Amino acid sequence: MTDLTSLTIAEARAGLASKSFTATELTDAHLAAMEAARLLNAYILETPDRAREMAKAADARIAKGEGGPLAGIPLGIKDLFATRDIRTTACSKILGDFKPPYESTITSQLWRDGAVLLGKLNNDEFAMGSSNETSCFGPVVNPWRREGSNTHLVPGGSSGGSASAVAASLCMGATATDTGGSIRQPAAFTATVGIKPTYGRCSRWGIVAFASSLDQAGPIARTVRDSAILMRSMAGHDPKDTTSVDIAVPDYEASIGKSVKGMRIGIPKEYRLDGMPAEIEKLWKDGADWLKAAGAELVEVSLPHTKYALPAYYIVAPAEASSNLARYDGVRYGLREGGRNIIDMYESTRAAGFGAEVRRRVMIGTYVLSAGYYDAYYLRAQKVRTLIKKDFEDCFAKGVNAILTPATPSAAFGVGEKGGADPVEMYLNDIFTVTVNMAGLPGIAVPSGMDAQGLPLGLQLIGRPFDEETLFSLGEVIEQAAGRFTPSKWW
């Protein structure tokens, strides 16, 4: 029998329906793979008992012909999603052993549709990072290595556990979140597919908040089709999230294989950075050629405020984070340190519970929101955000259906290699992705090629609001042309 962990979700769905194997066998194969891959540190909590129970229930439902769209599909869940009675920490010490008495809307929709929980996945602390090195559980290792090298590389972040687990076949798909690039950048670093849906498409209820006006959840999977399958279960209106939008969820899978003939694809000239590696240039050109060969029309477009996106993001995101993280006070959740009085207790709890990057963000955020600086920083960043959004609107108004860009400015780098002396070096990873969050648009990262060292690179497609379908159609064209990339097992 073929290794069950190497199947795509679509293939597993067919195999389960034709009774070639059971959900229990599929889950057991993944639990064994997880055990053999602990070195990657992708999972911070394995839930084998829960997984087997859920697989058994899925088998019973499949036998009765009542299996849902994800019946028996084993998934990993980013530790930012609240899972009822199962430890949820956002990979921060401050949450301690917090076991939520509730389930996030997204995960409850996945279980409703029959999916199986394998465990909780590592991420940057409170999703702040681009390399999964800020987690209190330690860094995640990328299953990809440079040719002829044993150096451990980062899987990207903040959804590094999700990307690494999907790439190493330790789950069939995973949930992830993206505030500035945390779905798309790790997907690009691991040759997986990641889509950040339009802001409001998926409910944020029950997801640990980082920057609420930017946060959006989405799937990471091994193929474009699989990400479309997962999106259908994850998306939907939720009265518990007031920013969730009440529009019907399309059958995303139906967009796979749809013709892209006549579509206008924008190539934004501001994304051509000085000193951009030739490999990234080539990748971008290849992507454009593939779309052209499929009948799309390529047009140069301008997004003039692009260069302000990253600086504005690093005002807006920390500002919102400093306010969201005020709730971790030693009273309501997890960790509590002693103190002479209540203020002292707050201070010692927050000092002990938050890691260095989180403390930096809280300080920046508090500063830009403070009375004397609010207008100079926060308000200005909000205005810049409006201009960034308008750039995209102008572009779409000219009949552009989607925009093609590189997903990241480089391939994966080594653990400990970046950001040590200067945090901005790490922040620059998101140069191509943050604009999309600032504008609330959907964006997909699709594996598209390899660099000279044998590491995967990805392209990004940015869509019109609530037009994820076009991204799936175009993404699949790229996937068909580029092929799929799988790391060879060394762990």
Annotated catalytic residues are 158, 182
Site for ligand GLN in 378-437 (CB under 6 A): 430
Q: Binding residue for ligand GLN (CB under 6 A) from 83, 105, 130, 324?
A: 130
Which is closer to ligand GLN, CB of 105 or CB of 182?
182
Q: Binding residue for ligand GLN (CB under 6 A) from 29, 95, 128, 267?
A: 128
Joined together, the tokens standing for residue 418 give 């970046």
- State in angstroms the smallest separation of the CB of 251 from ligand GLN: 28
Which is closer to ligand GLN, CB of 136 or CB of 317?
317
Q: Helix crossing, 23-36 with 48-63: angle to 10°?
A: 160
- State in angstroms the smallest separation of the CB of 181 from ligand GLN: 5
Q: Is 121 in the site for ligand GLN (CB under 6 A)?
A: no
- State in angstroms the smallest separation of the CB of 233 from ligand GLN: 22
- State in angstroms the smallest separation of the CB of 423 from ligand GLN: 9
Place of tokens 């013709």: 259
Instruction: Tell me the per-residue interface mask from 210 to 229 with ligand GLN, x by CB under 6 A, - otherwise.
Output: x-------------------
Q: Is 129 in the site for ligand GLN (CB under 6 A)?
A: yes
How far is the C-alpha of 269 from the C-alpha of 285, rounded, in Å? 13
Which is closer to ligand GLN, CB of 70 or CB of 176?
176
- Residue 290 burial class via C-beta count within 10 angstroms: exposed 0-12, middle 13-18, buried 19 and up: buried
Count of residues making up the chain: 491
How far is the C-alpha of 146 from the C-alpha of 410, rounded, in Å? 13
Scanning 123-131, 322-330, 334-342, 388-396 for contacts with ligand GLN by CB under 6 A, the matching segment is 123-131
Which is closer to ligand GLN, CB of 28 or CB of 215?
215
Q: Is 355 in the site for ligand GLN (CB under 6 A)?
A: no
Site for ligand GLN in 315-354 (CB under 6 A): 317
Scanning 106-114, 177-185, 271-279, 469-477 for contacts with ligand GLN by CB under 6 A, the matching segment is 177-185
- State in angstroms the smallest separation of the CB of 158 from ligand GLN: 4
Q: Binding residue for ligand GLN (CB under 6 A) from 27, 89, 179, 410?
A: 179
- State in angstroms the smallest separation of the CB of 130 from ligand GLN: 4
From residue 404, give the alpha-carbon distance in Å to each of 235, 287, 297, 323, 461: 24, 8, 12, 34, 5
Q: Helix crossing, 468-482 with 278-293: angle to 10°?
A: 110
Which is closer to ligand GLN, CB of 357 or CB of 468?
357
Q: Is 178 in the site for ligand GLN (CB under 6 A)?
A: yes
Joined together, the tokens standing for residue 384 give 């810049």
Q: Helix crossing, 468-482 with 224-234: angle to 10°?
A: 160
Instruction: Please answer whether residues 438 and 430 qualify as being in contact, where contact means their C-beta atoms are separated by less than 8 angstroms.
Output: no
Query: What b/e string do you get for 42-71 counting C-beta neighbours within 10 Å, with b at 16 or more?
Result: bbbbbbbebbbebbbbbbebbeeeebbbbb
> DSSP alpha helices (H): ranges in 5-84?
9-17, 23-36, 48-63
From residue 78, give the alpha-carbon distance in Å to each of 122, 147, 255, 438, 463: 6, 29, 27, 23, 25
**DSSP secondary structure string, 380-401?**
HHHHHHHHHHHHHHHHHHTT--
How far is the C-alpha of 147 from the C-alpha of 154, rounded, in Å? 15
Site size for ligand GLN (CB under 6 A): 13
Q: Is 287 in the site for ligand GLN (CB under 6 A)?
A: no
How far is the C-alpha of 159 from the C-alpha of 126, rounded, in Å? 10
Q: Binding residue for ligand GLN (CB under 6 A) from 83, 89, 92, 182?
A: 182
Scanning 121-129, 165-173, 223-231, 385-393 for contacts with ligand GLN by CB under 6 A, the matching segment is 121-129
Place of tokens 């969820």: 249
Q: Is 180 in the site for ligand GLN (CB under 6 A)?
A: yes
Q: Binding residue for ligand GLN (CB under 6 A) from 95, 121, 127, 411?
A: 127
- State in angstroms the smallest separation of the CB of 211 from ligand GLN: 8
Which is closer to ligand GLN, CB of 428 or CB of 481?
428
Q: Is 158 in the site for ligand GLN (CB under 6 A)?
A: yes
Which is closer to ligand GLN, CB of 41 or CB of 134?
134
Which is closer to ligand GLN, CB of 111 or CB of 126?
126
- State in angstroms the smallest separation of the CB of 180 from ligand GLN: 3
Assess whether the previous peptide bond of 227 is cis (omega < 30° from 0).
no
Radius of gyration of the chain (CA): 21
Residue numbers at the binding site for ligand GLN (CB under 6 A) = 127-130, 158, 178-182, 210, 317, 430
